[in-house]
Chains A and B, each alone.
Chain A
């Protein structure tokens, strides 16, 4: 077995990931080759010599994790959640204001509004004269007085 392949096999042996067939193959190699045995010892010693940090998280870490998770669970309004309704509300207000404004302008510029604003009975004034004239003509033709407003 080549050294690279042997080393791969030894690493997989350490991690317990060799198939039974590969394991048998490795055992044969180890029985036959001293270099293979030394390499195995080297890897074993390397692993056994690794120092493990004793440092642990701070004592309050778990409490902080819990607090953060509680915070996350709370229904927090995100920027999008806030902005969207505000924009919608603003749009509604503007639409309503626009409608009223439109009607206001329309009312202000219409003849009825002008008349109402001026307090002048522009409708009745000339029409009444016309009607009186018409009434007189009808009376002259028919000989009877007639109240044209009743027709």
Chain B
């Protein structure tokens, strides 16, 4: 399910009600909120973490921080706020561990590059359709992008955030976010030259 399928809310009344209910002691309200945004958020975190368990820890931390700091919450979109926290957490981790995600070079225990491992796992039934091959190639190519470009790419393509929201998350201008996306698209175009050629030849 794409984020676009989820109702893109601007801190809609539902979210506010759920948060208020949780504060008043309704623990189920938190479950509903987490469930609502888990796909795009967890999918994003998974791409920048070291596996499902690691991603799950970050995911938990994002929610804990989000709820704890809800009084500082100024954005209209809860999802955007969650991504912002996730971004900050990942930046902290990169700085602390010097764990720069160079997926093309870092290999897993079995020797398979992490990029391929990520591309090959966790894909749903959609991936079994005709677009799977191209999708896998996009995954692998995107995994080789520099961190900031990769982040813009996935925030836009997967989480469906606007460039304005991405700029806020990355603490940069909209033009910078756009430029990062253009660099990412340009590199993917080179990597996926064959696919692009097919597209042109198809005369679409």
Contacts and interface: CB of A to CB of B under 8 A. Distances in A.
Contacts of B156: 11, 14-15
B104 interface: no
A52 interface: yes
Interface residues of B, number: 54
Interface in B93-122: 119, 121-122
Interface of B: 1-2, 27, 30-31, 34-35, 38-39, 42-43, 46-47, 52, 55-56, 59-60, 63-64, 67-68, 119, 121-127, 131-132, 134-136, 138-139, 156-158, 161-164, 178, 181-182, 185, 188-189, 196, 199-200, 204
B60 A51 contact: no
Interface string A35-59: 0001001110111111111111110
Chain A to chain B: the 6 pairs with minimum beta-carbon distance, closest first: A54-B124, A55-B122, A51-B135, A53-B122, A53-B43, A49-B134
A52 B68 contact: no
Nearest to A38: B200
What band does the interface of chain A fall in when counting residues whose beta carbon is under 8 Å from B? 35 or more
Contacts of B64: 65, 68-69, 72
B75 to A, nearest CB: 16
B182 A52 contact: no
Contacts of A14: 156
Contact of A16 (B30, B135, B162): B162
B30 A65 contact: yes
